[in-house]
Chain A
Amino acid sequence: MSLTDAAFEAEPVHAEVVHGKGPWQLAWERLRRDKAAVISMAVIVLVALLALLAPLFALITGHDPLTQYPETALTPEGLPVGPGADFWLGADSLGRDLFVRLAYGARISLLVGLSATLLATVFGVVVGLLAGYYGGWVDGVLARVLDVVLSFPYLLVAIVLVAAVGASVALTIFVIAFFSFAAMARVVRGQTIGYREREFTEAVRSLGASPLRIMVIDVLPNLVAPVTVLASLLIPTSIVFEATLSFLGLGVDPRTPSWGAILADSTDFYRVAPGLLVFPAVLLLLTTLAFNLLGDGIRDALDPKR
Chain B
Amino acid sequence: MSSRVKMASAIVIGGVLAITVAVGFAQAQDAKNNASASRTTTLKPTAVSTAKINPALLRKPEAPARVDWSAAVMQSRAAPINTLNLKAARDPKAPTIQPLAARLPRQELDKTRLPMLMPKTGGMIKIDKAKVVSFGDAYSLNLPQDKGMQLTLMGNRSMIKADRGMISAKARAKVNGVAETVRITKLEDGWTASFRRYGVLYTVDLLCEDLQSASCATDGYLRAAIADISEVSLGAEAMKEAQAAGVK
* A, B bound: no
Residues of A within 8 A of B (CB): none
Residues of B within 8 A of A (CB): none
